[in-house]
A and B are shown apart, each in its own frame.
Chain A
Amino acid sequence: MKKGILLSLGLTLVALIILGLAVLIYNDSSKNIERFNTLSLFERLNAEYLSAEKGISRIFNVNSNVNLSLNGFNITIQDAIPNNYTNLKDKLMLFRDYAGDNFANTKITLSDTTNSIKFTVNPHLINYTQIPSNKKIIINYNKLNFLGLNFNFNTGNSTVGTIAWQEFDGGAFPVSISIANSTGSLIQDSKNIDMTDEWEVRVNGLPGGEGRIKVEFDNDDKEITIENDANILVNSKTEILLNKSDYLSLTDPSTKISVNFSEAKLSKVQNARLLYSYY
């Protein structure tokens, strides 16, 4: 009799354990639904963000008249002073309207609709700005992450210039400048610039009457200004030499991409990257 009762109890216990495991599996499955919903929303959010970012990058490449490239840890920006960004801004605005109207969750915000352009080099926080109306390129640098700068320009009538600014061990920056035209050398100079120096180089005698190109180094404001004061178009090539980092990206701070899934209270807002790589 006792044996029978023990057997019954044993069987019941085993069955209850099976039931307990089944309930656990069921509960885990219920959590899996929530996990899946959340993960798939993140996937969608990221996919939509990346597609909008790639769209902006493509619009930029085709309409900006600016050529961007990455070479190891160096970023090269080929631009013109003054450039005309009207077409680029128009196309970006159309893209913003299209993304907003027909792509319900994706909203592209342009915080700056003027015709200037600005790139931020991340993670080094170096800014490259051109304000075409002022015919200026301004580079704000962060000395800790900045190894140097090569700036080349040509005026299309054989006047070419090179400005090389490289850091060396002593902490100061030796700058060399060399400008020549078909008749010979206009400027050949070099100087060490420390943290307090300012240096202005003017290249006179360019077409356009009293035209000149002015290069100004301001270590207090950590700013290099290249101004085209001549009545000509100057093609420029700026190479920014950087320290090693895990990633390198060039973003447009005036173009923010915002993707929202309001029902799930999920959103992603970030500046559009125009160029990036991971190491």
Chain B
Amino acid sequence: MNQYLNSYSGNKKGIVLSLDAAIAVVIVSIIVIIATTYITKSNNDYTSRMQLVKLGNDMVAVLDYGGALNTLNSDVISSKMNNILPIGYNMKIRIETNSSRIVETIGIIPEDRYVFAGRRLFVITNSTDTSYAKARFWIWNK
């Protein structure tokens, strides 16, 4: 009789321990899943986005100061742009002058990632005339 009771008590302990372990695993799993969800949601790299903002503005400023934008020649602008654009980035520039002339570099703006769009106003001067233009640009990670 005692032997039976001992055996029953041992089984009960085992069942309780198993249940306890199972419940603990479930609770831990739920919490880890929730935590992972939170971390995944927050996994947007804003430092890299800020880098895009600064790089985009600097790129058009360099092209303006270097005189490339003034040429209003898409080949010249593309060539200069590709020379100074760091690896891992793509960029597109569209220029519109006050006489409605439009110059655009080749490139398709992606829809599946963050794209920074900015603008720059600039003045085109030559020996006979002064005209005005705005450069709109888009920059994104490859």
Contacts and interface: CB of A to CB of B under 8 A. Distances in A.
B121 A52 contact: yes
A4 to B, nearest CB: 5
Interface stretch (A57-65, A133-141, A154-162, A177-185): A57-65
Interface in B77-110: 96, 98
A47 B46 contact: no
Contacts of A266: none
Given A36-B49, A43-B54, A19 B31 contact: yes
A110 B46 CA distance: 38
A268 to B, nearest CB: 14
Contact of B122 (A12, A54, A61): A54
Contact of A55 (B35, B54, B122): B122
B61 A47 contact: yes
Contacts of B43: 29
Contact of A4 (B16, B36, B46, B96): B16
Contacts of B39: 22, 25-26
Interface in A1-51: 1, 4-5, 7-8, 11-12, 14-16, 18-19, 21-23, 25-26, 28-30, 32-33, 35-36, 39-40, 43-44, 47-48, 50-51
Given A11-B27, A26-B41, A33 B46 contact: yes
A12 B134 contact: no
Interface in A134-177: none
B76 interface: no
A14 B4 CA distance: 39
A247 interface: no
Interface string B116-129: 10111111010000
Given A43-B53, A48-B121, A55-B121, A102 B35 contact: no
B2 interface: no
Contacts of A8: 20, 23-24
Interface string B23-48: 11001100110111011011110100
A55 B13 CA distance: 84
A228 interface: no
Contacts of A214: none
A12 B24 contact: yes
Interface of A: 1, 4-5, 7-8, 11-12, 14-16, 18-19, 21-23, 25-26, 28-30, 32-33, 35-36, 39-40, 43-44, 47-48, 50-52, 54-55, 58-59, 61-63, 91, 94-95, 98-99, 102-103, 106
Interface of B: 13, 16-17, 20, 23-24, 27-28, 31-32, 34-36, 38-39, 41-44, 46, 49-50, 53-54, 57, 61, 64-65, 96, 98, 116, 118-123, 125, 130, 132, 134
Given A26-B38, A51-B120, 20 more contacts: A4-B17, A4-B20, A11-B27, A15-B32, A16-B31, A18-B32, A19-B31, A26-B41, A29-B41, A33-B44, A36-B46, A40-B116, A43-B53, A43-B57, A47-B57, A48-B119, A50-B61, A58-B122, A58-B123, A98-B98
